Structure 1
Amino acid sequence: MLDALGMSTVDEAVYRAVLDHPQLDLVGLAARLGTGTDSVRASLDRLVDLALVRVNGGGFHVVRPQAALQALLAKAEAEIAARQQRIEATKAAVVALATQYDDRDEPEAIRRLNGLDEVRDYLAELSRSAQTECLSLTPAGPQQPEAMAAEKELNLPALQRGVAIRNIYLDSYRNDPATLAHARWMAEHGGQSRTTATLPLRMVIIDRRIALVPIDPDRSADGALELHSPGVITALVALFEQLWAAGTPLGEAPPKDEHGLNQQERELLRLLADGHTDESAGRQLAVSTRSVQRMMTAITERLGATSRFQAGVEAQRREWL
């Protein structure tokens, strides 16, 4: 019933249980709902993010529903209004393009942008001219504070005029407080962010008409290629949408499979099975070599193995790969 406010069926059940039985702790809530403590904890985290529940010492305090739910309802109504504004902006853009269209030559299908400075300057120009949508993949570690500050300066005007901004980051971003704060800021202003274990390349798509991809995915400092071909753009948008559908929204815990593995752990096993070293696997996941070793040690222990080789054999036997 409250799914329009960002609550799942489980979240709503936990919320009602906390309302009806404020004296219950985590274990008590799980017992009453007949579910595991991990599921209840995840729902409580989401309820905290929605400002419906506050952590109070070792327990939980429910914010008065009259105030909290009304605030969420107002936010949902604002999002609907913002979506309607984006639709109207899209209609206006289509009319403007149809009216202003002349027989000028089409832009080059591919243009080379040399070096990071030229790429950054052009991205700033595209951000200011974007009308409907900006999609991006960011397969790197957490951004520097100055980069996030510059991004806010460009994104806020775009969001205010109704541009839909969606970003996909790596799961490793969840370990960086500054990046999470930036994602929350984006969400507060209408942007959306998700994460996944790995990403194939860095990419930005503006209004489904221009895409920027690196000249060399392993050397982003070399610059980027600006693409205009409708066929290429369509393929890149389809890639983005596929990754978006498989990603986990920031604010939600990455789901685990039937073996208890999250996507990052599954991807680590796959990378190591494909012959990657700890260092190259860490680069793919944007985590340190030490983090790779720590994750692999935990997986090895869960498999009851005494070595990585034995862990690999056991993971294959259990069909974890």
Structure 2
Amino acid sequence: MDTHSMSVLGLTSAEEDVYRHFLRNPGTPADQAPAVFPPDQDGAGRAIRRLRELWLLHGDDESTWATDPGVAVPRLAEKQLDSAHRTVRQLVDTRPILWSLQRDRPGPREEPSPLGGGAALRRLEDLREVRAHIDQLAFTTRSEVLAAEPYDALSPENIAHARHLDLRCLSRGVSIRSLVRARALEDPATLEYLRELHAGGARIRVADELSELILVYDRRTALVPIDARDTGRGALCTEEDGLVNSLVGLFERLWAAAADFAGPTAPDSGEAARLTDTQQLVLTAMCAVSKDETGARQAGMSLRTYRRHISDLLRLLGARNRAQAALLARERGWV
């Protein structure tokens, strides 16, 4: 072959040649593949076996077919991205390697501080450093983010930055619980962002009064402002168990006292529905097609995200099932 463009997807040149062979010659016997590269007939056999393991070839030895590229390429890309993500997380969090090496040193051994410099508390006085640290934590967190954020409104820049981090976490299955001020719901852009976050699977609660700024990642790392009255002065970051547990306890008390965020709410009688463009797209697909897979493709999103939007729409419409939701949506003139 003149080019082997599938190497970025994890295939060797031999595997790509065999895959392309069966794309051009569907239904042909598997033993015809070695003829593609006579110098290494055993290599062709190994390539066929691995392609079958990757579900890129199907059928039997008498009649072999290549998986459609529209299915094969995204599958391989997702596999490579998952592998790359695991590698990056290991490179970002090198503490297990440091601890292992420290144990091999003679003499007294101290576990290296996760915050650097041997301190249990780290000061981040440059706002760019604070943002970079939050970016890193959002990327490496594995299971949960707790956020109490006493803002009255978010700027478009802050929304764009937060949306990227939050939706990336949610797409990886990370749980997000967010506490916001009731006053933040009065800002249209902030409200729209919270609706999008809620539709993506985040749990949001609203407090009439909220002054505490708390970020906790995996109940292991916590950030609080150096000065609660002036967050521009920077943040304190800690992984000290006692401090983190105290902040988690404070967050849980604030959470218990707050009210659930209603998400997208039904409009008053006679008013137009306040659906986001994405929700309108999903609603239209839900009413038009019977299979979620078809609806997700039509809406241009993953099946998981599509089903999350469906659940949100059912709550919004007060419907017990999709058939009732479609009926209610038509009655309201939404579709």
TM-score class normalised by the smaller sequence: 0.3 to 0.5
Query: Highest Rg: 1 or 2?
Result: 2
Q: Which has the higher contact order (CA 8 A, sep 6+)?
A: 1
TM-score by length of 2: 0.44
TM-score by length of 1: 0.46
